[in-house]
Amino acid sequence: MSSLFEPVSPQAPLAERLRPKTLDEVVGQSHLLGEGKPLKLAFSSGKLPSMILWGPPGVGKTTLARLIANTADAEFIPISAVLSGIKDIREAVERADHTLQQSGRKTILFVDEVHRFNKGQQDAFLPFVESGLITFIGATTENPSFEVNSALLSRAQVFVLNALSEAELGQLLDRAQQVMQAPAMTADVREQVLAYADGDARRLLNFLESLYNAAASAGIAEIDEAFLQSTMASKLRRFDKGGEAFYDQISALHKSVRGSNPDAALYWFLRMLDGGADPLYLGRRIIRMAVEDIGIADPRAQTMALEACQIYERLGSPEGELALSNAVIYCAVAPKSNAAYMAYNQAKAFVSADKSRPVPLHLRNAPTKLMKALDYGKEYRYAHNEPDAYAAGESYLPDDMQPVRFYEPTPRGLEGKISEKLAHLRELDKKAKKR
């Protein structure tokens, strides 16, 4: 049995001492671990698939991987995508093969932060997952659809882990208090501590360990707010007593940008940075704002937001954070339009519900004599040869499809000029059809 499952010493960090030894000790993730739920069924059957565990920090991804290995009596090999490369993958596979040959035991290869591996490194797992030599478990805080290559993703089931609720965090707090024989805390302090954890069990336990150690040194009987503030002021400086959730703050940032208020947008941006939010997560959200709420009214917003993320990746803090704040301000003051976003959604919904219509003959490519003989491309009007480079009256939709208008540009920013141009082109179409 792996040494990872040996008894934990009292000197170990609190988070390690409270790490669950069985599924019944796991707090949270009932949608996966409850009776009749996917992971519970997989545990019970003993047929464990390769999988991706996707969720925010501190929700039990590593713990679940260890429990899976323990339940299956499998060798557990953990590697970190931050510190490892192809050489480490090769060594892990060789160790898995040796274990299988010597004892017949299978190996669970756990890759923490798998999204940090590049495509070549992720591909290195494929033949060994295919052959069954390893059961692959990857943990990621990023969307696997974008960060894990499709070949590996198709061979693994994705399980989404949720941030812990305050009630679930409360269970951990009670366990921590019992293990450390810590004094009680007032209801107000308890509420603040649970809100500070923000769904992250590791963050909660690390904070509690410091708090309880300070209380033991001071010899106090009950932890009240005065003691909390005096001993942990530096850690609670970033905690908002109002208890707004992480996604409430990102919502406030997005709506401030949409509402063209640069001061409020900058406030929420810095509030989230000060609270420990990943700057690149904020960068991705700023790009989303530029795409969704500004769009073609000012395409420079998308470019600036993307470049701000690239600057942060290259320079880090504080220069990168300043670039991101510039993008926030620019997006806030830019002209607003969701016309392109709405057009995308409407077109997507239409195509999803519509039948499969053939491409009209005049729009088809004709690279062979047979295709030309079948009138592929016949009567196609090359726009550059037409007056004003526009084939007035031409149709580009399927022959049996009624005209549609998904994109309705606003009069704001660049879209104002686009609107004028489209109106002019539609007038040319009307004149052409009257001839």
User: Structural domain of residue 421, as residue ranges?
Assistant: 355-434
Sheet holding 134-140, edge to edge: 75-80, 107-112, 134-140, 51-54, 157-160
**Contact criterion met (CB below 8 Å) for 212 and 249:** no
Single-letter residue type at 195: A
Same domain, 40 and 171: no
Q: Which of 390, 380, 389, 382 is nearest to 359 (CA)?
A: 380
Asked, for residue 346, whether it belongs to a domain, the answer is no
Domain CATH for 111: 3.40.50.300
Residues 6+ apart with CB under 8 A from 70: 1, 5, 21, 76
Asked, for residue 348, whether it belongs to a domain, the answer is no
Helix axis angle, 201-218 to 225-236, nearest 10°: 130
Same domain, 37 and 141: yes
Distance CA 332, CA 336 (A): 9
Q: Which of 251, 193, 194 is nearest to 224 (CA)?
A: 193
Domain CATH for 255: 1.20.272.10
Single-letter residue type at 201: A
Residue 182 three-state SS: coil
Q: How many residues does the chain have?
A: 435
Same domain, 40 and 126: yes
Same domain, 155 and 172: no
Please give the sequence-ordered ranges of beta strands (E in DSSP) within 142-259, or none if there are none. Answer: 157-160, 184-185, 222-223
Same domain, 150 and 23: yes
Asked, for residue 289, whether it belongs to a domain, the answer is yes
Q: Which of 328, 261, 347 is nearest to 290 (CA)?
A: 328
Q: Among the three residues 112, 134, 160, which one is the final residue of a domain in this structure?
A: 160
Asked, for residue 40, whether it belongs to a domain, the answer is yes
**Contact criterion met (CB below 8 Å) for 315 and 279:** no
**Per residue of the chain (435 residues), what is the pLDDT tens digit?**
344 444 555 567 888 888 888 888 888 888 888 888 888 888 777 678 888 898 888 888 888 888 888 777 788 888 888 787 888 888 888 888 888 888 878 888 888 888 888 888 888 888 888 888 888 888 988 888 878 888 888 888 888 888 888 899 999 999 998 888 888 888 888 888 888 887 888 889 988 888 888 888 888 888 888 888 777 654 544 444 334 457 788 889 999 999 999 999 999 999 888 877 889 889 999 999 999 999 999 999 999 999 999 999 888 888 899 999 999 999 999 999 999 999 999 999 999 898 888 999 888 888 888 888 888 888 899 999 999 899 898 888 998 899 899 999 999 999 999 999 999 999 998 888 876
Distance CA 198, CA 163 (A): 8
Q: Among the three residues 137, 160, 183, which one is the final residue of a domain in this structure?
A: 160
Asked, for residue 338, whether it belongs to a domain, the answer is no
Domain CATH for 377: 1.10.3710
Q: Among the three residues 236, 258, 277, which one is the final residue of a domain in this structure?
A: 236
Q: Which of 81, 61, 83 is nearest to 121 (CA)?
A: 81
Asked, for residue 92, whether it belongs to a domain, the answer is yes
Same domain, 121 and 195: no
Same domain, 208 and 284: no
Number of domains the chain is built from: 4
My answer on whether omega of the bond before 78 falls inside 30° of 0, hence cis, is: no
Distance CA 281, CA 278 (A): 5
Residue 198 DSSP label = T
Same domain, 35 and 115: yes
Please give the sequence-ordered ranges of beta strands (E in DSSP) within 124-190, or none if there are none. Answer: 134-140, 157-160, 184-185
Asked, for residue 241, whether it belongs to a domain, the answer is no
**Contact criterion met (CB below 8 Å) for 68 and 212:** no
Domain CATH for 223: 1.10.8
Same domain, 324 and 394: no
Same domain, 259 and 392: no
Distance CA 101, CA 97 (A): 6
Asked, for residue 343, whether it belongs to a domain, the answer is no
**β-sheet bridge partners, residue 53:** 139, 159
Same domain, 171 and 133: no
Measured in Å, how far apart are the chain's first and last C-alpha atoms?
Answer: 85
Same domain, 201 and 265: no
Sequence-distant contacts of 341-349: CB under 8 A, at least 24 apart: 341/291, 341/292, 341/293, 341/295, 342/406, 342/408, 343/406, 343/407, 343/408, 344/406, 346/406, 347/406
